[in-house]
Amino acid sequence: MTATDIHRTIEAVWRIESARLIAGLARMVRDVGLAEELAQDALVSALERWPQSGVPDNPGAWLMTAAKHRAIDQLRRKKLIERKHEALAYEAEGEAEDGKSELETMLDDDIGDDLLRLIFTACHPVLSAEARAALTLRLLGGLTTDEIARAFLVPEPTISQRIVRAKRTLAEKQIPFEVPHGEQRDARLGSVLEVLYLIFNEGYAATSGDDWIRPELCNEAMRVGRVLASLAPQEPEVWGLLALMEIQASRLHARTTATGEPILLADQDRSRWDPLLIRRGLAALEHAQRLGGTGGPYALQAAIAACHARARHIEATDWQGIAALYAQLAQVLPSPVVELNRAVAVAMASGPAAGLELVDALANEPQLRNYHLLPSVRGDLLSRLQRHAEARQEFERAASMARNARERTLLQQRAAASAEAARASP
């Protein structure tokens, strides 16, 4: 394995393991910022050692062990536990009779769910709503500040400042690492749902990098969503979000070719959609609706996803129903992105000219100024209207904005196809 391959492997392992690593450490050191530093130290160790020693058989366990030893060193220096140094060294080297130190037992003692604790801690009301989401995306999803900035459609320095200040505030206020109860839990639930939604979306359509989808993020968001549903079984929006994620995730295997190229919804082989996830998602949606959650933003989005899931082919899709659901969603969750999605549904239900009119009304929206999907959608509608030269320009503009390599290539291909169609037009 080359050094490049090893570095790519380390990056992939970090994406998968970083959240569990930080959560487990935070439970012990009771400091989210310190936990992230310890996890980063373990990552640095891997970057230094694995190119020489090779990737270990269980890379996640290797990172956790390295981070634990760093945590023990920190606890010694800061005197956060009352242990003799000789005993700590004895335990850290794994010489205890049961093969595991008392400190390691503390780290591995998962009473509840560490990741859920991490989310609720990062979503503490002492932080602003924007800081809560940014911090949890950083800690749970392992996203870079650039990726988070793209998800929020705001400048990268803004996100960086939010994360730094959030970690400092949690440390200064000595916020406990726990899942709150009663009214405190309910107050933080909305932020937790928002964060899970953003993490899932980053996995479903990655904002940057070489891969269009990152299934590990989708799976992690769903896993924590299921834990949250068991924790708050009477909350309809918890079930609405879970339904949305599971129905959307059912399409993951059909969204790319074997080599990773994107496949758009209209071209997907629906026999590859996961029927188990569809059934689970539809059941969760029904549960949300029984709890009175039909009008919540996540339940509405789940209902839209359900319309797609129930259609055996693109022509059988209830586009009128989807457009009506987007109109409801725009009332409860006003957003130019929602309006853009509604325009797509209207175009499918009433023709591309009707959709283009709605898209053009969004042209001056500040939030969409650098949003590549606006020219992408406009290019698609222009193409359907046989205005191929204009479509080419829009696809080229979208490609110049796209940060994801796979998506950028797809947009460039669509621009080339539009250019060819324009030349062939009389």
* Per-residue burial over 232-267, b = 16 or more CB atoms within 10 Å of its CB, e = otherwise: beebbbbbbbbbbbbbbbbbbebbbeeeeebbeeee
DSSP per residue, 183-243: HHHHHHHHHHHHHHHHHHHHHHS-SEES-S--HHHHHHHHHHHHHHHHHSTT-HHHHHHHH
| Angle ∠(264,369,348) on CA atoms, nearest 5 | 35
pLDDT of residue 97: 44
Scan for tokens 């029984």, then name that residue: 290
Tens-digit pLDDT string for the chain (426 aa): 787 888 888 888 887 788 888 888 888 888 888 888 888 898 899 898 898 888 888 888 898 888 888 888 777 766 544 544 444 454 445 444 444 444 444 444 443 478 788 888 888 889 988 898 889 888 877 778 888 887 777 889 999 999 999 999 999 998 888 888 878 777 788 888 988 898 898 888 877 777 778 888 888 889 889 988 987 899 999 999 999 999 999 999 999 999 889 999 999 999 999 999 999 999 999 999 999 989 999 999 999 999 999 999 999 999 999 999 999 999 999 999 999 999 999 999 999 999 999 999 999 999 998 999 999 999 999 999 999 999 999 999 999 999 889 999 999 999 999 999 999 877
| Alpha-carbon span 7 to 130, nearest angstrom | 32
- Identify the pLDDT of residue 147: 81
Q: Which residues of 1-37 are buried (b: 16+ CB within 10 A; e: fewer)?
A: eeeeebeeebeebbbbbbbbbbbbbbbbbbbbbbbbb
